[in-house]
Amino acid sequence: MPTRNINLTDHLDRFVEKTVDSGRYGNASEVIREGLRLLEHREEENRAKLKWLRGAVKKGLDQIERGEGIEFGSMADLEARVDELAAEVRVEKRRG
């Protein structure tokens, strides 16, 4: 396994030490590896979200080009529609 030297802030050093002392991890390397795995997972999720968002934007722009856009009479109308969509997303998330 490759070895790397890293510099930590005092805060992060104390966190690593405290985490090892808790017994959950055997040593500092295990703590750092777990942190990197979590970061890698988050980055993968962010890439997937960005890909989805770009697709949604493209779909919306294509719909507008075809004249399928929705016109709103006021900013309040637009905000109300955004709130409706956000509520729909929350319901879908709860369903799994």
Structural domain includes residue 1:
no
Report which of 57, 51, 9, 6 is spatially closest to residue 29, judged by C-alpha positions.
Answer: 6
Structural domain includes residue 4:
no
pLDDT of residue 47: 98
Give the structural domain span for 54. 10-95
> What gap in Å lies between CA 10 and CA 29, rounded to an integer?
17
Is-contact 69 63, C-beta < 8 A?
yes
Structural domain includes residue 5:
no
Structural domain includes residue 32:
yes
Name the domain count of the chain.
1
Q: What is the mean pLDDT of residues 69-96?
A: 94
pTM recorded for the entire structure: 0.68
Structural domain includes residue 2:
no
> What gap in Å lies between CA 82 and CA 76, rounded to an integer?
10
* Residue found by looking up tokens 């719909």 in the block: 63
